[in-house]
Amino acid sequence: MGRCAAAVVALCCVVCGRSYAAPDLLVADFEGPTYGDWQAEGEAFGSGPAQGTLPGQMAVSGFLGHGLVNSFYHGDGTTGTLTSPPFEIERPYLNFLIGGGMYPGEACIDLLIDGQVVRTATGPNDKPGGSERLGWWTWDVAEFAGRTAVIRIVDQRTGGWGHINVDQIVQSEERWQEVEKSVELTIEKQYLNFPVKSGAPMRRLTVRLGEGAVREFDIELALDEPDFWVFMDVSAFRGQKATVTTKLSEKESSVLQRITNDDRITGAENLYRERYRPQFHFSSRRGWNNDPNGLVYYAGEYHLFYQHNPYGWKWGNMHWGHAVSPDLVHWTELADALYPDQHGTCFSGSAVVDENNTAGFQTGDEKVLVCIYTGAGDPFTQCIAYSNDRGRTWTQWEGNPVLRHIIGGNRDPKVIWYAPERKWVMALFLDGNDYALFSSPDLKRWERMSDISLPGTSECPEFLEIALDGKPGDTRWVFYGGNGQYLIGRFDGKTFTQQSGPHRLNFGNCFYASQTFNSTPDGRRILVGWGTFEMPGMPFNQMMDFPVELTLRSTAEGPRLFVLPAREIETLHSKKHAFSDLTLKEGDNPLSGITGDLFHIRAQFQIGAASQFGFHVRGIPVVFSTLHNTLSCFTVSAPLEPQNGKIKLELLVDRTSIEVYANDGLVYMPVGVIPSDQLHSLDAFTRGADTKLTSLEIYEVKSAWQ
């Protein structure tokens, strides 16, 4: 509203004899391509408003619209000022969003009248860590009513947090600055439910019992209609009074009244039936998941822990989520196992069954489960937690960390039991492409043994012994990193000696940070990867790839890992369609009568004169090119040589993925893709000539959530 319109409102108030708050006056919102009448000097502010996060910067949040002032232009080494044109003080409060460095006079926003600084503010950060979130700040400027003022945004600071972020400068009758607000609830039911709006300003919520904080996390609280609801399991706190606290402006404080205590998850009436919910790949009920963690089998249950943000659709608030399954297919989600504490958020790691009670944690008849994880504080360290009740409750050890900071972002411990020397062995990412092996007698005291370099990958190590060609007496050791690049070699209890590699494990677009289960009952090497694929518009995001079995087999090029889906997928088979010695002709589709969303397909093609053959799965092509000996699906491809003139394909088709396995698992290609809602068909095709399908089995697959 312009000044003329504002004057009309004021006149109406006088005529009607009623009191109305004058409308807000926008000073600047930085939504244009340039700064307009604002004058920039130096380099820090660039030629116009930033469109969010700048290169090399942590994710910036809390600003409104698309643009903001962000002086991280070319990093923290640049300096400059940004000055507004003169304007008149017409409201008692001047509100703005601010973030960045806390350096008065050097990284700040100033209000000047007659050339003198009369008000100033900074961001909240002056040491490593921190957050790039902008929050509301308010200046009381009533005493300057009618005076002419200028705003100057300053960046004269270099080094860490040597920048300032500003957005949405508004004159108002109301104070918008955030102050601490709270709501008190008596915990009588299982869940606290919180409304979430993706893109809303991020808030830091603290849940206290008495004076002690039991949970702290960041959340995009919905001030209006939520996109979805998230929950906190508070069953352990029944009968106690909880206080939920965060910083809000006065006009936003009513959102706390929407937080409820219930035995139901609000908005979960359609749980596991959502539009993009994978039906036989694990995904969390709510929130974000990434790396699988702590894969271990104990007492009839496979335990899947995972990196989890319980309170939002994006990465953050790293907890360890937890689910169990009797068969790798049907998962029951338990309460989160690990929570951020004084050592930081809980980054990736592994879990073991301490059969011999080496750590001394066992208190009953059950063997102790121990999780080994990275405490992502400042700096990163390695920590442990333990459970005496089959993983239902967890204690983060009071003696943490068990391994202090070594270098860089050292993280993601994978721990195994090395029986020949009755000791624990840890593989740990250090920095760059470097990893190290450590040993311990008790999971508490660790000694560095040797180092490993793995070009082309970082993070999330896996270290395992595996039989070559299924012969128990002839084993090799495999070491790999986050993207699955792997080495094959020998291990003498101290040093891993590389014999070949790095080799490529997967060719898909939907795979990272995989891990194998410890202590499987039948000795299989079962691997689960993070299915790196977004689920837009859902109250959850990302998934796990389907569990696969690793085997090491001899090839003409030497030993290689082969990957096939765990046989437990067969528990979901329903109707079967079988064909043999089927001749595919160009333009025909013998599968035209088969429709659905979920399939398990096994096929063997005979190479002939055709240039291409394969399937269209709900419109997505899976194609083998005989001209180039390549297999492709959606946007990815892999080299594939025929075996005895044949190509074998195995496909798992879910709502948001197609996993392709070729030639008995020599090629593994997990692909994230969302087919059209209108396409539910299958098509077997050939181009250029006829192709013989020597065998084809298609199983319609049931949902694991039924």
By annotation, the residues acting in catalysis are 291
Give CA–CA dist 668/680, Å, rounded: 24
The 3-state secondary structure of 46-101 reads: CCCCECCCCCCCCCCECCCCCCEEECCCCCCCCCEEEECCCEECCCCEEEEEEEEE
Instruction: Answer whether 591's CB lies under 8 Å from 683's CB.
Output: yes
Instruction: Answer whether 285's CB lies under 8 Å from 268's CB.
Output: yes
Which of 379, 399, 385 lies closest to 349 in space, CA to CA? Answer: 385
Q: Give, in order, the Cα–Cα distances in Å from 636 to each of 278, 457, 545, 612, 623.
A: 21, 19, 17, 16, 11
* Cβ atoms within 10 Å of 501's Cβ, excluding its own: 20
Helix (H, G, I), strand (E, B) or coil at 285: coil
Contacts of 555 (CB under 8 A, 6+ apart): 666
Whole-number CA gyration radius for the chain: 29
Locate all alpha helices (DSSP H) within 463-556, ordered by sequence.
none
Angle at 442 between CA 440 and CA 447, to 5 degrees: 20
Instruction: Answer whether 693's CB lies under 8 Å from 682's CB.
Output: no
Token pair of 239, please? Answer: 């009968």
Give CA–CA dist 225/196, Å, rounded: 9
Phi and psi at 229, nearest 5°, equal -115, 145
Give CA–CA dist 287/283, Å, rounded: 9
Q: Map tokens 């004269």 to a residue.
A: 156
Contacts of 615 (CB under 8 A, 6+ apart): 601, 603, 621, 622, 649, 651, 682, 683, 684, 685
Q: What share of the chain is helix, strand, coil (3-state, %, to 5)?
A: 5, 50, 45
228-265 b/e (C-beta count within 10 Å ≥ 16 → b): bbbbbebeebeeeebebbbbbbeebbebbebbbbeeeb
Angle at 258 between CA 253 and CA 262, to 5 degrees: 145
